């Protein structure tokens, strides 16, 4: 991430969402895994859309966390 941040000319806030999934929740079969992964991407798309249209969720910190390059 610091490499990406280092390429930004002007400081801008970057919002990141990270989600952990228990290994037991991740399917083993290739087709099942692909379907599961597509569902995660759709969840991320929904989250991005919400960020762009309604702003951050109230539970998100109001103060940014600075990550130095």
Distance (Å, whole) CA 10 – CA 5:
10
Q: Which residues contact 7 (CB under 8 A, 6 or more apart)?
A: none
Q: Please tell me the predicted confidence (pLDDT) of residue 31.
A: 97
DSSP 29: S
Count Cα neighbours of 48 within 13 Å in the Cβ-side half-sphere: 7
Q: What is the pLDDT of residues 36-67, one digit of tens each?
A: 999 999 999 988 888 888 876 666 655 656 66
Q: What is the pLDDT of residue 48?
A: 86
10 φ/ψ angles, rounded to the nearest 5 degrees: -115, 140
pTM of the full predicted structure?
0.61
């Amino acid at each position: 991430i610091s490499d990406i941040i280092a390429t930004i000319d002007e400081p801008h806030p970057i919002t990141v969402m990270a989600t952990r999934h228990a290994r037991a929740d991740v399917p083993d079969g290739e087709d099942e895994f692909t379907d599961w992964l597509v569902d995660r991407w759709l969840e991320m798309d929904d989250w991005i859309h919400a960020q762009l249209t309604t702003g951050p969720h109230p539970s998100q910190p109001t103060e940014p966390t600075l990550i130095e390059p």
